[in-house]
Amino acid sequence: MYHLIFVFFTALIVVLFSTPALIKVAFLKRLFDEPGGERKIHKRIVPTIGGIIIFAATLFSFALWFPYDFPDMELLRKWTREFQFIVCALLIIFFVGIKDDIIGTAPIKKLASQIIVGMILVLMAEIRIRSLHGLFGVQDIPLWASVFLTLFVYIVSINAFNLIDGVDGLAAGLGLLGGLGFGFLFFLAGDIVMCLLAFSLAGSLLAFLIFNFAPAKIFMGDSGSMIIGLVMAILAIKFVETSPPQNINPLFSKLFTPVVSMSIIAYALTDTLRIFLRRAVRGVSPFVADRHHLHHLLIDSNMSHAKTVLCIYFANILIIGVACATSIYSISISFFLTLGFVIFLVVLTWLFKLYCQKKISKTQVIDQAESI
């Protein structure tokens, strides 16, 4: 138990005391993003290499408190094997991300690195989806389907958190929410390694939010957002394949479903799949940036960065609540009820934007009439 507390606060302290120095270095070396352009909504220069400290603190804390002295040798070997390949995957994603933050990286190269990382985790670490556990009536799936589905999940999750990192504190806050949520669930399941990984990331992101919440003093960049996306994918896939222990409270045992796993990263998945579908319908490359994300709709509704982010946090918590509340039903019913609630929130966001724009236009017309 003490490992879980120490891993969280170790990561938190590392980020808390190292970030101010990193910000100074970023300004000295001119590693910052300047305002300007249609999609940039910050008004001043902001360092973009915060992913360095998120990666370093998470990996340092995870390795420092890894249970090397665990008495069950067979389980320890399994955990060590997973730890080995998770570290390798994180290193690849981090170096690709930091290169993109500093000098830029072609989208095809980033995609290639994500495929390599996914293959390492699927084929070597064997962290993959083996069953849908009754979702759509499907139980175990063949190896080829398992490999392709899991690879798809890794790629989507990495890009999802990369794409939503457009508002101060959004990706970090949702990553914090995911780390705490998965950490609690893995604690119930007794999976110490995944619990440590979740809480080490959560500790890093809680401290990073102090510097990244609006108005941000530093951005996490692609190196940070892709690290969060990869860790969330690993945790989500491992949780899908985790069975509740026999001595657990029956109320908690119902939570061990793929629907709850998806709900924890619901906003990132929903916004990314919605954007990719929208771009595909219009014949636009899915990697071309635009201002049609859900957080842009809220900002265009005259909401501040802070209110937008808090609103999305709350919405994601509500989605998790719905997934947990409906877990008493069959997994397919739970999925469709949760999906229906997500669609309702998306439509509500769109309608809210239309209402606010109409109200703003009416106000402008009245002001013009009064000035005449």
Q: What is the pLDDT of residue 76?
A: 82
Specify the DSSP class assigned to residue 248.
S
* Structural tokens at position 232: 């969330």
Contacts of residue 58, Cβ cutoff 8 Å, sequence gap at least 6: 11, 90, 197, 200, 201, 204, 227, 231
Q: How far apart are CA 83 and CA 63, in angstroms?
A: 9
* pLDDT bucket at 218, cuts 50 / 70 / 90: very high
Residue corresponding to tokens 């083996």: 130
Ordered alpha helix ranges (H), the chain: 2-28, 51-64, 73-102, 107-119, 143-163, 170-189, 192-212, 221-240, 250-253, 258-264, 266-281, 294-299, 305-325, 331-371
Contacts of residue 356, Cβ cutoff 8 Å, sequence gap at least 6: 300, 301, 302
Q: What is the pLDDT of residue 60?
A: 96
Specify the DSSP class assigned to residue 42.
-
Identify residue 306 by its one-letter amino acid code: A
- Provide mean pLDDT across the span 1-11: 89
- Provide mean pLDDT across the span 3-28: 93
pLDDT tens-digit map of 137-187: 888 899 999 999 999 999 999 999 998 988 889 999 999 999 999 999 999
Q: Full-prediction pTM beyond 0.85? A: yes
* pLDDT bucket at 3, cuts 50 / 70 / 90: confident
End-to-end CA, the chain = 70
Count of Cβ atoms closer than 10 Å to residue 322 Cβ: 22
Is a pLDDT exceeding 70 seen at residue 222? yes
Q: What is the pLDDT of residue 364?
A: 62
Q: What is the pLDDT of residue 41?
A: 59
- Per mean pLDDT, which range of 1-10, 26-35, 48-57, 213-222 is the poorest? 26-35
- Per mean pLDDT, which range of 3-12, 136-145, 280-289, 327-336 is the poorest? 280-289
pLDDT over 90 percentage in the chain = 59
- Per mean pLDDT, which range of 1-10, 71-80, 219-228 is the poorest? 71-80
Residue corresponding to tokens 């629907």: 259
- Provide mean pLDDT across the span 233-252: 89
Residue 372, judged by CB atoms within 10 A of its CB (0-12, 13-18, 19+), counts as exposed
Is the Cα torsion angle 79, 82, 87, 88 positive or negative in sign? Answer: positive
Is a pLDDT exceeding 70 seen at residue 317? yes
* Structural tokens at position 326: 């409906």
Q: How far apart are CA 63 and CA 291, in angstroms?
A: 39
Is a pLDDT exceeding 90 seen at residue 201? yes
* Structural tokens at position 272: 């990314």
Q: How far apart are CA 80 and CA 69, in angstroms?
A: 11
Q: What is the pLDDT of residue 344?
A: 95
SS3 341: helix
Instruction: Compare 133 and 360 and report the one with higher pLDDT.
Output: 133
* pLDDT bucket at 13, cuts 50 / 70 / 90: very high
Identify residue 341 by its one-letter amino acid code: F
Specify the DSSP class assigned to residue 300.
T
pLDDT tens-digit map of 32-62: 776 655 555 556 788 889 999 999 999 999 9
What is the CB-side half-sphere exposure of residue 358 using CA atoms within 13 A?
6
Mean of per-residue pLDDT scores for the chain: 88
SS3 330: coil
- Provide mean pLDDT across the span 90-106: 92
User: Pick from 187, 271, 283: which is nearest to 235 by CA?
Assistant: 187
Asked if 161 and 171 count as a contact pair (C-beta separation under 8 A), the reply is yes
- Per mean pLDDT, which range of 2-6, 112-116, 185-189 is the poorest? 2-6
Q: What is the pLDDT of residue 369?
A: 59
- Provide mean pLDDT across the span 70-97: 89
- Provide mean pLDDT across the span 13-30: 92
Contacts of residue 37, Cβ cutoff 8 Å, sequence gap at least 6: none
SS3 29: coil
Count of Cβ atoms closer than 10 Å to residue 232 Cβ: 28
